[in-house]
Every structure is written in structure tokens, then in C-alpha cells.
Amino acid sequence: MQSDSSSTLADAKPPRNRFARRWRMMSALALAVTLVALVPFASLLVLAGGDAEGVWPHLVRNVLPRSLGETAMLLAGVGAFTSCIGIVSAWLVARYRFPGRDFLHWALVLPLAIPTYLAAYCFVEIADYTGPLQGAVRALGGFTSPAQYWFPEIRSLPGAVFVMSAVLYPYVYLTCRLVFEMQGSTVIDTSRVLGAGGWRQFARVAAPLARPALIAGATLAMLEALNDIGAVEFLGVRTLTFSVFDTWLNRGSLAGAAQIALVMLVFVAALMTAERKGRGDRRYAAKGSAGQALSPARLSGPRAAAASIACALPPLVGFGAPVALMLTYAFRRLDQFADSALADAAFNSVTVSAFAALIAVAASFAVVAAQRSRPGKAFAAMLRMVTLGYAVPGSVLAIGTLFAFTRFDNTLDAFMRGQFGISTGLLVSGTAAIVIYAMTVRFLAIAHGSLESGYSRLSGHLSMAARTLGKSETGTLLLVEFPLLKRAFATAGLFVFVDAMKELSATILLRPFNFSTLATFVYEKASRARFEDATVAALAIVAIGMVPVILLSSMQRGAAKRS
């Protein structure tokens, strides 16, 4: 019996050893992904500590005061306006029934498909002196020169706040709408019994309960505004992002740009800290969710008309007006469809975005699988550092990426020259590979969040049952878990692909010579006052961006119904 027992234990050791080896390999792969994702940040610290050739005193005296002030005012304005537009429209759609509600329910999300730089180009065309708005003012008032009337200047800080708020408010709308739709009727009914009307129910009950969602959405909108480079440059606003761009390319000081980038990281850290403190305990938003689902009340008469107008204006301004302008221009430039430069830019965009999506999904899967196989706060916190890229502006990420890979290419070239007399040149920093890497690091958080959400819905007993039935770890992954996670993988890849297609800040700084994407193609045309020649490319970006926007809206609506 002892011999049989020993034999059984001996037979049991190899599977455990194989499992341990697989676990170690998975953990090592996840840690490698994390370290690779942190390379730009480490490089940024090294670069910022280098010689800025006396640029820093000039930046402190002449650049940073204005950049800090305009950045703070831009973020404050965007945060305030997106919060007001988003939470009011979310409350009206979730709480009331009025004409057009079912259409506006998802139409309010559409402005998210338009990047901020495209919105800026369109609104300048619409609101400039030669645009249709001022043309209508002159026609109605009989004016012959701009000195005879006043019209708000779109190329200004208030203009930038308006433009960005018009396309970024859906971040607040989506988060608040989901909270309002999932809130139970108990709290609202109680407030009604206590004499609270519709406005008081919103201001004193629903809005405070949605505070965490409101803060989270507004923070995302402000981070997007901080990341923007195309809109602020075109509208004449000198934010920190523009200062990074200007110091690097126009002043030729990469170290000075890195030092400004560190100041931007302070802004990011302050936003994230304020978001966490303002959000507080996440359960705060769910305390009113007990009871039956909130049933929308029907509006009629002037109140219904007012609700319809209030919910129709944001998508009309943020999506309808820019798309109408782009369609008008595109019909005048049908020859653009035969433009070889546009075809090359589209091919480059699809290629870079597809590779970034595939790599980001694969890397995120390794991290999520490692977290799942070894639960632990310290290990999970370390692996979560892969999500830092999304919180950092693309221009900041570009600086660290370029410095790291330029140093790598130069070191390798010097070694090959010394040992073999061969020059390798710029293997990474001079190719599209560096753009793919930056896109992957920037959008790893999106893929990580989608896969982590998908994995959270799988019971841990599934893999245990599969191994009990004789399936290996690989077999369990391929035959059990992967089929159940196909939707999560597809969603993660789609979101990364679309965000990479729209990305401008990192691409404009890292792309090799004679390499354009759809985003940089539009940027180049607009910067030369030839936006009309880029409207086909702009419409392609918007059309692609609409796919995940509609998908996200339908997914949130389904989640609210299931609750």
C-alpha cells in the first residue's frame, strides 16, 4: 500500500510541475508586457533630467505661465460644460418620454465619433468670417463689414471650450444615463411623496446620486481635451500640449519638451486624484437602486417640446453641423476618391491600427490571464500599470517613445559598425513600428478593461471542471474560455482599432518621413487652409468612429434593461 501511495504521489507531481511552469511563464510574460509599456515613462524621466541647453529658464519665464493658465481654463471650461450638457440630457432621456426620445437616446452619443481636431476644423469653416453663420448675420442685418456687428471669435479659448464640449459631452452623458436608468423608483417616488417636483428630483436626489458617474465622465472629457493638439493649435490656444509640440519641433529641444511633459503629468495626476476623491465610495451611486426600475414619465405640450429641443441641440451642434459641412465639401471634391495620397494614408491607417489592436489585445490577454491565475493585490497593482498610457497625453508618450527607440537604434548601429562594419540605421524609430508601439501602449487600457470585464463574467469553476475532465491548461483556454470570450476579444480589438485610427497627437510626432495616416492627412490639409481637400478622409474617420459609439450605446442600454 505504501508503494502504491508513493507511486500515486509521484504520478501527481508532473502535472503540478507543468502547471507551475505554465504559471511562471504566464506571469513572466505579463511582467514583460508591463515593463515594455513603462519604457516611455522611464525614458521621459531620464530625458527630462538631461541638458535642455538653457531652454528651461526661458520656458519658465515666457512659456509655462501662459500655457498653464490656458490649460487650466480650458480644462475647467470643458469639465463644466460637458457636465451640464451630459447630465441634463441623460436625466431627460432616462426620466421622461417625449417626441423623438427613442432616436435621441442614441443620437446623443454620436458626437463622440468626431475627433476634437475635426470638430475644430469644421467649426472654424462654419463660424469664420467667410462661413455660413456670419454670412447669414450680414445678410439679415444688411452689414457690409465685420466692424458693423459683433460675432464671437471661434479662434479663441472660449471657442476651444465650446468646440471640445460639443463633441466630448457624451462621456458624461453615457456614464450618467446608465446610472439614471439603473436607479430604482423607490428614491424618486419617496421624493415625489415629499413634494419634490421634476426639477427638485433631479437637483436634490438624482444628480447627487450620480455624482461619481458625473465626475468620472467629466474627467475623461478633460483628459481628452488635454491630449488634443490639432484643435488647440488651429484655434490659437497655447496649452501645455501645444508647448510640448512647439518646444520639440520649432525650438529643437527634446529635453525641454520632456520637462514640459512632466508638468503635464502633474496635471494628469491632479485630475486622476480629484476624480478618485470626488467619486469616493462607488456604492454611493447605487444606494437608490433598490426597488423596481424607474419608469419614464410622459411629457406633453410645451414641456415635451422643450425636452425635445434640449436633447436635440447637443447632437445637432456636435455631430449634425460638422457632418453636414463635410458632406457638402466632399460632394464638391469627388475627385478625392482617386487621390493616391489619400489611398496611401487610408492603407497606412488601417495597417497601423490593425497591428496595434492585435498586439494590444494579445498583451492585455496575457496580463488579465496572469491576474486571474494568481489573485493578489500587489501583483494586480503592478500589472495594472499597463493602463497608464491611456491617462497620458499622446504627445507626452511620443517623447518618451522616441527617446527610448532612438537610443536603442543608435546603440545598435554603433555596435554593428564597431564589430562588423555594418550600419543598421534607424530600425525602429525611422519606421511605422514606432507608431504601432506608441498606439499599443496608449490604448492597452482599453483592451485590458474589455478583457477584464469579459473574464469577470466567467466562473472560475469552468476551468477547474475542464481540467478535471482531462483538459490541459492550453486546451481549457482554447476550447472553453476563448469561445466564451470571443465577444470581449472582438470588442477590445474594435475599440483599440478605432481609437488608433483617430489618434493624432502621437502619430504626428512619431511618423517617419512620407508616412501619413488619415488623421495626419487631414491635419496637413487643414494647417494649409485646405480642409475642403481633406473632407473625404475626415468622413472616413467619422464613419469608422461611429461603429464603437453605437455599439457602446446599445451595450449600455442592454445593461440597463437587464438590471
Which one-letter DSSP state was computed for residue 429? Answer: T
Domains of the chain: 27-562 (1.10.3720.10)
The pLDDT profile of the chain, 563 residues, written as one tens digit per residue, is: 444 544 444 444 445 555 555 567 777 888 888 888 889 988 888 887 766 566 778 788 888 899 999 999 999 999 999 999 999 999 899 888 999 998 998 899 999 889 999 999 999 999 988 888 888 888 888 888 888 888 889 999 999 999 999 999 999 998 888 778 766 555 555 555 555 556 667 766 677 777 888 888 898 899 899 989 889 999 999 999 888 888 887 777 788 888 888 888 888 888 877 777 766 554 444 444 444 555 777 888 888 999 999 999 999 999 999 999 999 999 888 887 778 888 999 999 999 999 999 999 999 888 887 777 666 666 667 767 787 888 788 888 888 998 899 888 888 888 888 888 888 877 888 889 999 999 999 998 888 888 877 776 665 555 655 556 555 555 566 566 667 777 788 888 888 998 899 898 889 889 988 899 999 999 998 888 888 888 999 999 998 888 877 776 666 555 555 55
Gap between the Cα atoms of 170 and 107, Å rounded: 10
> At CA 526, angle to CA 523 and CA 530, rounded to 5?
135
Question: Partners of 97 in the beta sheet?
Answer: 298
Gap between the Cα atoms of 442 and 496, Å rounded: 9
Q: Which helix (H) or strand (E) holds 97?
A: strand 96-97
pLDDT at 424: 82
Cell of 330: 466632399
Q: What is the pTM of this model?
A: 0.82
The SS3 assignment for 293 reads strand
DSSP collapsed to 3 states, 19-87:
HHHHHHHHHHHHHHHHHHHHHHHHHHHHHHCCCCCCHHHHHHHHHHHHHHHHHHHHHHHHHHHHHHHHH
Q: Are 165 and 112 in contact (CB under 8 A)?
A: no
Q: Are 222 and 281 in contact (CB under 8 A)?
A: no
Gap between the Cα atoms of 446 and 434, Å rounded: 19
Gap between the Cα atoms of 30 and 47, Å rounded: 27
* CA distances for 341 relative to 500, 514, 521, angstroms: 19, 10, 8
In this structure, which amino acid lies at residue 323? Answer: V
Q: Are 212 and 279 in contact (CB under 8 A)?
A: yes
What count of other Cβ atoms lies within 10 Å of the Cβ of residue 19? 14
Alpha helices in 431-485 (DSSP H): 433-456, 460-468, 473-476, 482-484
User: Comparing C-alpha atoms, which of 399, 69, 385, 407 is closest to residue 259?
Assistant: 399
Q: Are 308 and 99 in contact (CB under 8 A)?
A: yes
User: Comparing C-alpha atoms, which of 486, 479, 492 is closest to residue 448?
Assistant: 492
Gap between the Cα atoms of 157 and 67, Å rounded: 12
**Lookup result for grid cell 419614464:** 296
* CA distances for 150 relative to 73, 77, 141, 146, angstroms: 24, 23, 11, 7
- The DSSP result for 339-362, as a single string, is -HHHHHHHHHHHHHHHHHHHHHHH
In this structure, which amino acid lies at residue 292? Answer: Q
Question: Partners of 298 in the beta sheet?
Answer: 97
Gap between the Cα atoms of 161 and 166, Å rounded: 8
Gap between the Cα atoms of 124 and 163, Å rounded: 10
- Please count the residues of the chain: 563
Q: What value does the CA radius of gyration of the chain take, rounded to a whole number of Å? A: 26
Backbone dihedral region for residue 50 (phi beyond 0: left; psi -120 to 50: alpha; all else: beta): beta
Q: Which helix (H) or strand (E) holds 96?
A: strand 96-97
Q: Are 436 and 359 in contact (CB under 8 A)?
A: yes
Which one-letter DSSP state was computed for residue 1? Answer: -
Backbone angles phi, psi at 393, to 5 degrees: -55, 150
pLDDT at 11: 46
Cell of 271: 485630475
Helices 2-48 and 340-373 meet at what angle, rounded to 10?
A: 140
Q: Are 521 and 345 in contact (CB under 8 A)?
A: yes
In this structure, which amino acid lies at residue 139? Answer: A
User: Comparing C-alpha atoms, which of 457, 286, 460, 453 is closest to residue 368?
Assistant: 453
**Lookup result for grid cell 447637443:** 314
pLDDT at 63: 85
Cell of 366: 496575457
